[in-house]
Structure 1
């Protein structure tokens, strides 16, 4: 990595400028981020507010309502890494993403800007907001779980830590969630 990139990173670490991203742990070893433009809100949801639905993929915990809208809740680490959250959790950290709904009309896929679907992605630990320049996103190095690779936009090295940059729209469109 060259000196200008290092200088740029240290300037952004002080909060000078850059794209805002929501930082969280996907599991104990895997820090990840979503660009804030893909995040609607973050909430803590009591487990008893989740209605389990039978015959769903194992990563789908069920349904809940938020501001008079129904949304699916998905254990993100289970979906992407096959590592489910412990079953005895009382409160869940939920990242609510809003994605454009894709409708099939006359054999063509048409994105409708006015129709959005809410999806709650449950993560074990929220870390906060980080800022970095989008030009610092690099191609991730190493081997990644098969479920993670299609949802991975890249990585950012920040303070000696590799943050995985996830794509919320790719997660919402993953084959495992198409059945719900």
Structure 2
């Protein structure tokens, strides 16, 4: 008896992380949750994340005369990847050597950067139409340039484009891939 290969593949291709595309009729978006500061929650749209990698702080090459939120560079797929302490950039305490952080690798307009956070937690589904747009009364001034808005549960959705276009990078982007 011959088994239909398509039905076997459909049964065996489980997606434990929920990374399969959502049906087109749904209004929900997949967002990756991570700690932002000590008690806040940050979210990034999953479709904007290229990869998540574990970062060994001792293997990061520091770059002189860079702002303190830029950890340095590391090798990623044979390319140079800038690593940015996301919490420090947006006004929270910087990473400590006690943690084994991860980098959410994001690409905007062919510019790739690793947004380093202490950990990533989970993938959540949210309706971004419920997003309350960023305003100065809702977020601290230092966080405001990097925020798309807040969800009703209080989670902050960050703006990857805002992070990669921040003036801090404009000085150091020339010739960097």
The match for 2:147 is 152
Matches of 1:151 and 1:140, distance apart in 2: 9
Alignment of 1:52-71 (within 5 A): 52-71=62-81
Q: Per-residue deviation at 1:130?
A: 0.4
* Contact 2:101-2:119 within 8 A present in 1 as well: no
**1:91 corresponds to which residue?**
100
Asked if the contact 2:85/2:116 (under 8 Å) is kept, the reply is: yes
Rg larger in 1 or in 2?
2
RMSD of aligned Cα (Å):
2.0
Q: TM-score, with normalisation over the residues of structure 1?
A: 0.75
Q: Distance in 1 between matches of 2:115 and 2:149?
A: 19
Partner of residue 41, structure 2: 31
Rounded to whole Å, the distance in 1 between the matches of 2:120 and 2:56 is: 16
Aligned residues: 147
User: Contact 2:36 / 2:92 at 8 angstroms: preserved in 1?
Assistant: no
**Residues 138-158 of structure 1: per-residue CA shift (max 9 Å, x gap):** 23574423221011111112x
Contact in 2 for aligned 1:27/1:124 (Cα 8 Å)? no
5 Å matches for 1:3-152? 18-86=28-96, 88-89=97-98, 91-100=100-109, 116-140=110-134, 142-152=137-147
Q: Deviations over 1:63-121 (max 9, x none)?
A: 001111111001011111152122x2352211111110xxxxxxxxxxxxxxx121001
More RCO (CA 8 Å, sep 6+): 1
